[in-house]
Structure 1
Amino acid sequence: MLMLSKQQTLPVVAEKVAIMQPYFFPYLGYFALIKHTDFFVSFDPVQYIRKGWMNRNRVLKPGEGWQYITAPVQAADRDALIKEVQVVEGEAWKMQILRQLEHYKKRAPYYAEVTALLESCFASPELSISRLNTFYLLQVCQYLAIPFSYDIFSDLNLTLGPVAAPDEWALRTSQALGATTYVNAPGGREFFHPEKYASEGVSLQFLDITLEPYSQRRPTFEAGLSIVDVLMFNTPEQVCAMLDNVVLAG
């Protein structure tokens, strides 16, 4: 059975750490963060946000525009944490996603390869959305030949210092892992404080990626779609080149 194996040891040198909630087949920028750090933490001890990116993402729909692909989740308390949420059992939603992607066969040159990748992902019987999404990240990274040294926060059993503000989860986790640098997506600039990090021995950086349009074989380019769409139209080498179109800055 295909399951996510728990990482037993941290890297010898984890200079740069990224910490993100485990999203469902996320967009290119998420994988750029993985590619340009030494260790990745799937962060699952916080509240699960409904109608977010945890159980769905966007792909092309036939004709024009985009549509969601979704992993439905089991009923849970509104305050449930990510680590407590499970996807619905069975194959129905997985088959639905594959059917939604069938229209790509007409114009996407790598439809067969991506379908095989997804079938490999969907072969996992895992129900935890945290572990399942991390398993999907691992499968995509292996397809792209990107090293992926990772663990799930709830598996790490870290002893953290006091967390008094939203940006201190990442700070305390970075310190507990012995990291010298924490790298965040650009969207967190408004509530992360470089001076605080520097005063506690951790450098704070933000990764900005320039996302150039690629051919989707249709008149209008749909930006910001799932990695699934990117893989449909590009080789792993081309995708890796996209992931290197980044700037790391404080």
Structure 2
Amino acid sequence: MKLGIMQPYFFPYIGYFSIIENTDKFIFFDTPQYIHHGWVNRNRVLNSKNEVSYITVPIKKAEQTMPIMNIEIDNSKKWKEKIWGLLTVYKKKAPYYNLVLELLHNILDREYLKLSDLNIVSTQNVCDYLGISTSLDVFSKMNMPLPEIKKPDEWALYITEKEGYSTYVNPPGGKDFFVREKYSNKNIELEFLQINFNEYIQKIGRFEKGLSIIDVMMFCSKSEIMDMLHDYEIIN
């Protein structure tokens, strides 16, 4: 049985959803400190110049040590309008524009105070859209007592142990943070899932990989995306 744990990101790239799809349970890890200029409040899409632009959720000023779950959206700014404006570039060239726009309206037409709520709801809705049935949970709501955390890799270690899973799955970018011996001592296997970025037609004369899942959904059918989610390698 496999467990995935990641911070709640804003319409993340396809590799994030590959981890969700290829685990038995996925936990939104919303208690770490919010880091500016990361993927928690922004992601990348194409613009009218066939270049990459950011869709961004503005946040209110907060203490540097503020956890993700307490970060508030600055709704005084017209961030949704900016996102809709950027996404119009897909209208004439993306075959699934209308379908995806309906999904996005179902998500973004609601009111959100907390950034983590927006990210979790949006990810849950994308999973429903794609047919991903993995069990999802939110760490801050689990009331899980853990031993003292001394190193960054121990969060996943102790959560996996508490949840009773035999394998923890992580993106390859965090590989250097993990000490395998800690996990093997508790009979937990470590897997680092690297998705293979299958090229799809973006109608820009080249392929920009790693964009928001929004871009993938605009150009690809649900079945094509599910095939992509299962095209990965486990890096040791």
Normalising by structure 2, we get a TM-score of: 0.96
Q: 2:91 aligns with which of 99, 105, 108?
A: 105
CA distance in 2, matches of 1:166, 1:120: 36
Distance in 1 of aligned mates of 2:76 and 2:108: 10
- 8 Å CA contact 1:18–1:33 kept in 2: the answer is yes
Range moving further from structure 2, 18-27 or 194-203 = 194-203
Question: In structure 2, which of residues 124, 145, 152 is the aligned counterpart of residue 166 of structure 1?
Answer: 152
Query: Superposed, which structure 2 residues align to 1:158-237 within 5 Å?
Result: 158-237=144-223
Q: Tell me the distance in 1 between the aligned counterparts of 2:207 and 2:193.
A: 24
Whether contact under 8 Å (1:98, 1:115) holds in the other structure is: no
Residue 82 of structure 1, aligned match among 68, 77, 85: 68
CA RMSD, Structure 1 to Structure 2 (Å): 1.3
CA deviation map 1:14-64 (0-9, x unaligned): x21101010000001000000000111111111101111000000001122
TM-superposed CA distance for 1:126, in Å, is: 2.6
Match of 1:6 in 2: none
Q: Deviations over 1:68-118 (max 9, x none)?
A: 001111121122111110112368311220111101111111110111111
Structure 1 residue runs of 5 or longer lacking an equivalent are 1-14
What's 1:5 paired with? none
**Conserved 8 A contact 1:138-1:148:** no
CA distance in 1, matches of 2:209, 2:233: 20
1:134 corresponding residue in structure 2: 120
Q: Which residue of 1 aligns with 2:103?
A: 117
Percent pairwise identity: 43
Once the two structures are superposed, residues 109-161 of structure 1 have per-residue CA deviations (whole angstroms, 9 ceiling, x without a partner) of 11101111110111332322122201110000111011131111111000112
Corresponding residue number in structure 1 for 2:22: 36
Matched residue, 1:57: 43
- Measured after TM superposition, the shift of residue 218 of structure 1 is 1.7
Match of 1:239 in 2: 225
TM-score (norm 1): 0.91
How many pairs does the alignment contain? 236
- Letter of the structure 2 residue corresponding to residue 85 of structure 1: I
